[in-house]
Amino acid sequence: MASYENLRYEVDGFIATITIAREKALNALNRHTLNELTWALREADGDARVRAVILTGAGDKAFVAGADISEMVEQGATEARGFAQAGRAVGDVLENLSKPVIAAVNGFALGGGTELALACDFIYASDRAKFGQPEVNLGVIPGFGGTQRLPRRVGLARATELILTGDIIGADEALRIGLVNKVVPAAELLAEAKKCAEKIASKGPLAVAYARRALRKSVELTLSAGNDLEGELFALLFATQDQKEGMKAFLAKRPAKFEGK
């Protein structure tokens, strides 16, 4: 297991929890933290024990309060492009992971924090959570995928309003517009995320991975192409041990024992 300076990587059963741990900086994303996130996500993807991942922030104030402004303030265009590419790399890894990732948003998720959560498969939020893309207040725009993922999550009009006003919204409003899936009391957030992750981990790992791939591609493909992909992935699963085990267990009325093979 790799050692990280700004993250904690922990595995409990089938669940990996990655905690962004820059609490004094409200878990703000500097270049090193972005690189570590990329490495930790790849570690989780290659970890045979892991079937689902939870991404959260240390402390009770922030998930990720944003990108680290102190690192950005003096950047020129070339450096800013590199910084944006480091943020994009995290999103790209999340998009292409074979395992689902639940964002457990425990506090402020602003700018890069909202963008990071959006790149996860879905979001559970503390009742203290706050979301927003306030980059226009700083004279810039989202750089880690916010202008692309937020409209796909909440619709173009709502995303445009949030990004152009820089408004910050609470957890209940985020739930109402479809940005988050569930809002729970702060003390229950990780337990709820783990409960969901464990439920997913009890299913066929290959089926989960293939379903995730088809769902991710659904926003990019035409309906016909998406159905083609779904049919291909459906058929491929019939060449797996998990498919045989799942269906035999169903007929025998017993719990399936999936091995991801």
Distance, C-alpha 69 to centroid of its chain: 22
| DSSP secondary structure letter of residue 4 | -
- 259 catalytic? Reply is no
Cβ distance 84 to 38 under 8 Å? no
Rounded to a whole number of angstroms, the CA Rg of the chain reads: 19
Q: What CA–CA distances, in Å, run from 232 to 33, 76, 212, 228?
A: 37, 46, 14, 6
- 135 catalytic? Reply is yes
Instruction: Select which of 36, 115, 192, 230 is catalytic.
Output: 115
Give the position of tokens 């083609």.
Answer: 228
Cβ distance 37 to 7 under 8 Å? yes
Rounded distance between C-alpha atoms, residue 12 and residue 201, angstroms: 12
Instruction: Select which of 10, 71, 74, 135 is catalytic.
Output: 135
Active site residues: 115, 135
